[in-house]
Structure 1
């Protein structure tokens, strides 16, 4: 792992959170998204952020990780700056697919970043619904490798999704 983190500290409470840049970095977003797609075995995912510049940087990396997760060819439906209520509504309307929300707030020593992972039922991921698996994959440096170009997913803004 090029830039290690403390997975037990960062990956908890329904996702990943930590002080940027001390505890968490944008590479973590790539790892989290790729592992989340593989853990949930999904080919569709909905993502949103809170509009803060740091959140947008992490959001971009989340999208890249999700579309490059092994052979899943995951389509990431992006909402951009959207509240969790809208994220949950779109997840449900898309067929009860998993979702990701990213937020950040200024803190005394940097920026506190929170990546919340939602299961297909709109509940934050728990230890038994995938969080422990994601933490183990990252701790053991078993982050899913990028796919070949024919299995790569795509990012689509909400409202431009193709019919399944």
Structure 2
């Protein structure tokens, strides 16, 4: 694994979170997304972020990882900037699909990135509902890669799902 992380410290408490630099980097978003697609067996997913410049890079890498997960061919609906309520609404509108929300906070001069994962019912993914398996996959360097180009998914911009009427 290039640029490994402390998976027990970063993937815990119902989230993937860490400070940059040092604890987390954009590659983690790719790994987490690919593993989440496999763990959740997702063929479609909604992904949003808080609009922070740093988060936008993590969001882009998350989406790329999600479309490159083994043979799943996951179709990503990229919502752009959205809050949790908007993400959950979009997940429901898409037919009950898993989702992810990426955010950045500034604490003590450091940026902290958080990736929250949601199952198809809109519930946060917990240790017992996939986070533990995801952490195990990343820690053991079993990050899924696409089996061929036909297995690759795609990213569609779906800001229309979060626009206010």
Q: Does 1:134 align with 2:96?
A: no
* d(CA) in 2 for partners of 1:147, 1:85: 35
Q: Give the Cα separation in 1 of the matches to 2:160 and 2:123.
A: 25
CA RMSD of aligned residues (A): 1.4
**C-alpha contact (below 8 Å) 1:48/1:83 kept by paired residues:** yes
Paired residues of 2:67 and 2:76 also in contact (CA < 8 A): yes
Distance 2:54 2:37 in 1: 23
Q: Give how far 1:12 is off.
A: 1.2
SS of 2:76's partner is strand
Maintained 8 Å contact 1:14/1:118: no
Unaligned runs of 5+ in 1: none
CA contact (8 A) 2:33 2:66 kept: yes
Give the superposition deviation at 1:107.
2.3
* TM-score normalised by L of structure 2: 0.94
Unmatched runs of 5 consecutive residues or more in structure 2: none
Aligned: 1:63 with 2:85? no
**Partners of 1:13 and 1:87 in 2: CA distance:** 20
**What's the counterpart of residue 32 of structure 1?**
32
Residues 29, 122 of structure 1: alpha-carbon distance in 2 compared, 3 angstrom cutoff: same
Aligned residue for 2:73? 73
Please give the secondary structure, in 1, of the residue aligned with 2:46: strand
The number of residues matched between the two structures is 161
- Where 1:78 maps in the other structure, the secondary structure is strand
